[in-house]
Structure 1
Amino acid sequence: MSKYNETILTAGGLDLATRAANGKTKFTITKATATADDLTTMSETDLQNLIVLPNEVQTGSITNQTENVPTSKSVVGTEILFTNQGIDKGYLVNAVGLYAKEDGKDEEILYALNTAVEPEFMPDFADQVLLQFRITMYVIVGRTENVTVTIDPSGMASKDYVNTKIAEIDVNDKIQDEDIAKKLQNKLVYTDNKSQDKNVMTQVAEALGSAVYGFKTIDKDGNVTSILPDSDSLVTLPGEWNNNTGGSTDPDHPAAGVDIYPGSLANGEITERHCLWQGNSDPTQITNVSFSQDVGAKMDRVGEGLTFLLYIQRTAINKGLKGDAVKLPFNYDPNNLAKEGYYTTTAPVPSYIRAKSFEVDKEQVVTYNGIGENLTTIKNHQSPGVGFTFKADKTMDIRPIQGFDNDGAADGITGYTYDVVVEVIADYSIQTAVQQLPASINFFTGSASGDIALSGVSDFFENSMDGIEITMEDYMYIRSSPSGTLQERTLATNIVESPIIRIPKDKLIQGINNNMSFKLKVIASETGKLQPPISTDNNKLGASGVNWQVNGSTSYYFLGFDISKLIINKASISINVVPNLKYSVGSLWQGSTWSWNAVKVSPYKN
C-alpha cells in the first residue's frame, strides 16, 4: 500500500495563503502533477523553495474539493485522480504537486507537494488494463472563501452528459464496425449463443456483464495480484484502498508517514495505555528493547498500536568541537510555530504507529520535520528521526537518525546536533471523546504516601483534563512511624520552589514510573549545600500539644531525594517521596528518615 508524507507548503504557496488569510487576494487551485524523481534526499527547506515539480510525468484530474474538513475555515482538501491511460512507461509516483494561480495573474505556481514514503506504482497502458490512483491533499489556504478549486470535468460524468449520451443511442442499431465487433468478441468473452443480431445496448451489456472477471493490481515492485469475484459475481476491494490520503484522516493533524494522529489525548480519545518499556534509548547507536508484555508475533496483541514518548538530546558544537548535551522537549504544532525552549515539529508527538504498520524486520522511520528551535544563523539543516524495527523474537530495535543545524563553516562548524531519545513505549486504543472533569474536582484529599486510590477518575485517566496535579504537604517531616507522631519538620519551600507537582496526560500510562525528582525544582544554594532551617517539637505531642521551635544546635543538609517515584495504576497512584536530610558528625552523615506526603490530587488545565 502506498504511503505519503504530510503536505508541504512551498514558499510561494505560504505567501499566497498568508495574503489570502488577510483578505488581500484570492486564488485558484488549478492542477496537479506527478513525478518519478525521488525527492527524499532534499531537505524540507529545499522542498519549500521549489517553484515547479521536477521532471513531471503526467497531470492528474482534480475531481473534487472535499468538504470533509471539520471545524476548519483555512484548510481545503483537493481530491486528485491519476490513471495510467496514455502512460507508455510505468513509473513510481514519488511526489505529487499542486499548482495555483492568483486572481489577475497568468502565472501558475507550485503551491504544495506531497512526497512518498512508499510510492504508488503507475504501470503502463500497454495491456489496456486501467489503473486509478486517488490521493487527497489537504492544504492550508488562509480562508476557504478566498479559494476556488478547478474541478476537471473529464474526471467524472455529469448528469447532463449522461442524459445526452443516452439520448444519442439508437436501440435498434446493430454493430456495423467489424473491428469493434471483433474486439468485443475477443476481449469481452462472447459465447456461441450471443448473436450480433441483438441491438447495441443488449450486446454491450451482455459483453460487459461477462467481462467483469476481477481486477489486476500492480504494486510498486511490479508484483501482480488478482482480485476475483465471489459466488455472487461481486468483487470486494481491499479496505486499505480507501487510505491513500497521506496517512491521517484528520486534515488539521496530518500524518508524518507512519506516525499518525489517532485522536485527541486531551479529549480522552486515547485509552488503554499500558507501559511496555521504559528507559532511555541510546542516541548514538541501535537500542534493542524487550517488552514487559507479549505483543504477539505479528504485533497483534497491542490494541490499536504503539505510542512512543520521546525527547530531543541537543549537543552543542563549537568550531567542530562537541560541547554539552541537554534534554529538549518536543513541541508538536501542525502550524509549525516555534516555542522557546522546545524543538517544534509538525510530526505528531507523542508518536503513534498502528500495529498493522509493523512487519517483522521491516524498519518504520519517523522524521520529525519542522522549524525546530527556529535558529536564524543556520545554513545546513537536517531533521532528526528514529527508526523502529519489530524483530522476530518480539523485541524492537530503536535506531536514532541524527539531525543538525549548523553554519556550514569550512574551518569547523558551529551549531547543534539533535538526537531522538525514546523513553517510554506503550500500547494504546481509541474511543469516542469523554467529558473532562474540572479542576475544582478532587480525586483525593487527606495525607498519605504509598498506594492512593483516586475517586472519580477513569481507569486510564482519560477524563483528567490535561493531567493530574499533586499537592504535597507544606512541611517535610521526621515521623516516629509512617503514620506516627511528628518529631522534626522543615518547610517544603525551604528546599523546593513549589510543593505542587503536575504530571501531564501523556505520561498517565498504566505502569509508568514518573521520576518526581525531575518534577521538583530544588532551590539553588550559593554555597552548593542547602541548609534548610529545622524545627523540633519540644513537647513531643505532650499535654500542651505541638510546640515547634527552630533547632539551632544541629545543622541539617539537603542531599537530594532518596526515593522519588510516582507509579500510575488503574484509577490510582503509588507515590513515595523521601527527602534525604542529614547532619554531619565528623566525616559521617547521620539522621532519621524523612517523609513527605501527598494531601490532594486533582485534574488541571493548562
Structure 2
Amino acid sequence: MVNVIDNGARNRTNMMPVGIKIIDNKGDVAHTAKTDLDTNYISLESKWFGSSSNNTGGGTGGNTGGGSTGGNTGGNYHDDSLADGEITQRNFEWGGTDDPTKSNTITFKDAQGSKFNGNYDGIQLLGHIQKTVITNGVAGTVTDLPLNFDVKNVVKSGCYTTSASYPIYINNSSINVGSVASVPIIGTGENLGGKNIKAPSISLTLNADMTLTLTHDKGYNNDGASPATGVEYQFIVDTISTYSVQKPVSQLPVNMTLANGEFMDDVTLSGVGPFFENIDNGLEIDVDPYIYDDTKGNLGHQRVLLSDINLPTKYFLAKEDLINSNNTSFIPSTYDISKITNTIKFYNLGESGWNTAVTPSPDFVPVSVEKSFINVGLGKITFNDAINFRYSGNYGQDTSVIWKYKFKILTVKTWKGE
C-alpha cells in the first residue's frame, strides 16, 4: 500500500472506497467486492456484467485458476458475505446421501408452491469433494476432502482449494423448470501438477413437481496416459438451504460469551441474530470434562471422564453450518469408540457430592456413540447426544442393559475461526 505523507493527501486517501457494491434493479445488493490492500485493486467478476440469467452455458473451467463459478448460477456471493452477515434466512431444506454415480432427485423439506423457493432469494449448497485414486485406470482408495475457498488459489494441505464462490449461492432467477444451473468447482484443488486436468461440477435441474435433480460431472488430475494414473474428483452435496440477502451487520467480538452455566440440551444464546448473522466465524463450545449417566432420562449417580474415551472438552461449529433446523455432528466421523482400550473409571455421587476417589472398572466397556449432533435453532442450539456403555458380564451383571451418558455444556462463545 502507498505510504501517504502529506496530511491533505492522506485525508483524501482515507475517503477512498474500501470496496464496492453492485445494486440490482430492486435496489438490493447483488454483489460486493472489497479492495485488496496489497495491490489497491478491486476485483470484479466478469459474470456480474451483461450475462443473462437464462444462459445455460459457461465453461466448466480448469483445475488451475479463475474466479468465476460459470454456468447458469445467476449471481453468487463470495465467502465474506456470510461472514459479514449479508446472508440471512438460511433454513434447512435438504440433507442426505448424494450419490455421485447417478442423478439424484431430492424433495425439499418445506412444501413448494407454484413458485419455487418463493419466500427467499435463492438456495445455498454446502458440500465436500470425494477423491478417488486412479492407478492405470483402476479406481482405488476413496477419501473425502473439505473445500477451502480462497480467491487467491492458495493451496491448503488436506483440502481442495477452490476460487469459485463457496458456499455456493444460486439465485431463484437461475432456477426455472427444465433449465440447468451448472456450477464448476474451479481452483487449484490439491495442486498435484498433472498433465490432464478438469474441474468437477454439479448441475441442478428444477422439475415440474418442484423437486430438484442433482447431476455430477467428475473432474480429474492425471498423467494423461491411457489408461491414466492420478485422481478423480466429485463434488458431493451435503446440505441445501434457503437464503436471502440483506445489508451487512456488525459482528460480535471474538471470544464473547453467549451462554454460561450447565446445560444438558437446549442452550439459548445471548445477543445473537436469529440466523446467526452477527457471528463472524462460528461457535466455540466448552463442555464438562465428564459425561453423566442419563440412562433413565435423568442425571444419574455416575460420571465418566471424557479423556478415558479419548474425546476433547472443546468443540467448534462453523458459521456455514449454523443453518436453522440443521443437524450437524460434533464428534468427528473418524472417531471409533469400539477401539477404546482404556480402563473406564467411575466417579460416584455420594451424600456429600461427587467423590474424588476413582473406581476403575475393566468390566465397564464403551459400546457406541448412539447420537452426537447439534440441532441449530433460531438463536439457539440443542445438544442431542448419547454415548452407550454396558457391562461385560464377568461379575454377573446384566449385559443387556445399555447405560447412556450425556455431555454437559458449560460455555458457548464466539469463535475466531481457523
One of 129, 132, 142 as aligned partner of 1:325: 142
Q: Alpha carbons of 1:524 and 1:380: their partners in 2 closer, same or farther (altered >3 Å)? A: farther
Say whether residues 1:420 and 2:235 are aligned partners.
Answer: yes
3-state DSSP of counterpart to 1:335: coil
SS at match of 2:81: coil
In structure 2, what is the Cα distance between the partners aligned to 1:289 and 1:417?
25
Conserved in 2, the CA contact under 8 Å of 1:512 and 1:567?
yes
In the TM superposition, 1:83-98 aligns within 5 A as none
Which residue is 1:595 aligned to?
Answer: 406
Post-superposition CA distance 1:378-421 (Å, at most 9, x none): 121111000000111010000011001111233x3221111111
CA-CA distance at 1:579 after TM superposition: 1.2
Q: TM-score by structure 2 length?
A: 0.80
Counterpart Cα distance in 2 of 1:515 and 1:524: 15
Over 3 Å counting, the alpha-carbon distance change for 1:605 and 1:69 in structure 2 is: closer
Q: What secondary structure sits across from 2:320 in the alignment? A: helix
- 2:328 is aligned to 514
CA distance in structure 1 between the partners assigned to 2:299 and 2:43 by the alignment: 65
Sort the Cα spacing of 1:409 and 1:388 in 2 relative to 1 into closer, same or farther, 3 A: same
| CA distance in structure 2 between the aligned counterparts of 1:75 and 1:255, rounded to whole angstroms | 21
Q: Is the 8 A contact 2:201 2:219 kept in 1?
A: yes
| Residues 557 and 582, structure 1, Cα contact 8 Å, conserved in 2 | yes
Is 1:75 the counterpart of 2:41? The answer is yes
User: Counterpart in 2 of 1:277?
Assistant: 94
**2:175 and 2:181 in contact (8 A); partners too:** yes
Q: Is the 8 A contact 1:314 1:416 kept in 2?
A: yes
Aligned partner of 2:258 among 433, 443, 457: 443
The structural deviation recorded for 1:301 is 1.3
Separation in 1, partners of 2:69, 2:223? 30
Q: What is the letter of the counterpart of residue 507 of structure 1?
A: D
The Cα of 1:491 is off from its aligned counterpart by 1.5
Deviations 1:19-56 (A, max 9, x none): xx9xxxxxxxxxxxxxxxxxxxxxxxxxxxxxxxxxxx
Moved more, 501-510 or 428-437: 428-437
Partner of 1:429: 244
CA distance 1:554–1:420, change in 2 (3 Å): same
Distance 1:253 1:403 in 2: 17
Tell me the distance in 2 between the aligned counterparts of 1:351 and 1:399.
15
| Alpha-carbon distance change, 261 to 423 in structure 1, aligned in 2, over 3 angstroms | same
SS state of the match for residue 439, structure 1?
coil
Matches within 5 A, 1:298-447: 298-376=115-193, 378-410=194-226, 412-447=227-262
Provide the rounded CA distance (Å) in 2 between the counterparts of 1:255 and 1:413.
27
Residues in 2 aligned to 1:352 and 1:302: alpha-carbon distance in whole angstroms: 16
Distance 1:77 1:356 in 2: 24
Q: Residues 425-445 of structure 1: CA distance to partner in whole angstroms, max 9, x if unpaired?
A: 111011111111123322211
Match of 1:567 in 2: 375
Aligned CA distance change for structure 1 residues 559 and 513 (closer, same or farther; 3 Å): same
Give the residue type in structure 2 aligned to 1:75.
Y
* TM-score w.r.t. length of structure 1: 0.56
Q: Which runs of 5+ in 1 are unaligned?
A: 1-20, 22-67, 79-112, 118-133, 137-218, 220-239, 241-245, 247-251
Equivalent residue letter for 1:317: I
How many angstroms apart in 2 are the aligned matches of 1:469 and 1:451? 16
3-state SS, counterpart of residue 593 of structure 1: strand
Q: Secondary structure at the match of 2:197?
A: strand
Give the distance between the partners of 2:147 and 2:323, measured in 1 at CA.
18
| C-alpha deviation, 1:524, in angstroms | 8.4
> Hey, what does 2:305 align to over in structure 1?
491
Match of 2:290 in 1: 475
In the comparison of the two structures, how many residue pairs are matched? 368
Deviation at 1:555, TM superposition (A): 2.6
Structure 2 regions of 5+ residues with no counterpart? 3-31, 54-58, 60-65
Deviation by residue 1:267-326 (Cα, 9 ceiling, x = unmatched): 111111001111131111000000011343332514111110111111111222211211
- TM-fit CA distance, 1:451: 2.3
Aligned ranges for residues 122-141 of structure 1 at < 5 Å?
A: none
Change (3 A) 1:529 1:440: closer
Cα distance in 2 for partners of 1:428, 1:327 equals 26
CA distance in 2, matches of 1:548, 1:338: 49
How many Å apart are 1:588 and its aligned residue? Answer: 4.4
Residues 1:70 and 1:566: Cα distance change in structure 2 (over 3 Å): closer
5 Å-filtered alignment, 1:116-155, equals none
What secondary structure, in the 3-state scheme, does the structure 2 residue paired with 1:264 have?
Answer: helix
Distance 2:67 2:134 in 1: 33
CA contact (8 A) 2:69 2:185 kept: no
Cα separation, 1, equivalents of 2:241 and 2:298: 36
Q: Judging changes above 3 Å, is the alpha-carbon distance between structure 1 residues 345 and 553 closer, same or farther for their aligned structure 2 residues?
A: closer
How far apart are the structure 2 equivalents of 1:604 and 1:557? 34
Amino acid paired to 1:349: Y
CA distance in 1, matches of 2:367, 2:129: 29
Q: 1:409 to 1:559 in 2, by over 3 A?
A: farther
Q: Distance in 1 between matches of 2:340 and 2:228?
A: 39
Distance 2:391 2:293 in 1: 13
Residue 136 of structure 2 aligns with an amino acid whose one-letter code is K
SS in 1 for 2:153: coil
Q: Which has the higher Rg, Structure 1 or Structure 2? A: 1
Q: CA offset at residue 557 of structure 1?
A: 2.3
SS at match of 1:518: coil
Q: Distance in 1 between the 2:132 and 2:382 partners? A: 35
| Contact map agreement 1:495 1:532 (CA 8 A) in 2 | no
The alpha carbon displacement at 1:364 in A equals: 0.8
C-alpha contact 1:278 1:423 (8 A) present in aligned 2: yes
Distance 1:585 1:362, change over 3 A: same
Would the aligned equivalents of 1:333 and 1:345 in 2 still touch at CA under 8 Å?
yes
Work out whether 1:454 is the aligned partner of 2:269: yes
**Does structure 1 residue 534 correspond to structure 2 residue 332?**
no
- How many angstroms apart in 2 are the aligned matches of 1:299 and 1:572? 28
Q: Return the alpha-carbon distance in structure 1 between the equivalents of residues 390 and 347 of structure 2.
A: 15
Q: 1:545 to 1:298 in 2, by over 3 A?
A: closer
* Cα distance change, pair 313–291 in 1 and its aligned pair in 2 (3 A): same
Counterpart position of 1:223: none
User: For the structure 1 residues 509 and 545, does the alpha-carbon distance in structure 2 shift closer, same or farther, using more than 3 Å as the test?
Assistant: closer
Q: Measure, in 2, the Cα distance between the counterparts of 1:553 and 1:382.
A: 55
Give the superposition deviation at 1:482: 4.9
Query: Relative contact order: is structure 1 or structure 2 higher (C-alpha 8 Å, sep ≥ 6)?
Result: 2
Paired AA for residue 217 in structure 2: I
Does residue 605 of the first structure (1) align with residue 416 of the second (2)? yes
Shift of 1:495: 1.9
- 1:452 deviates by 2.3
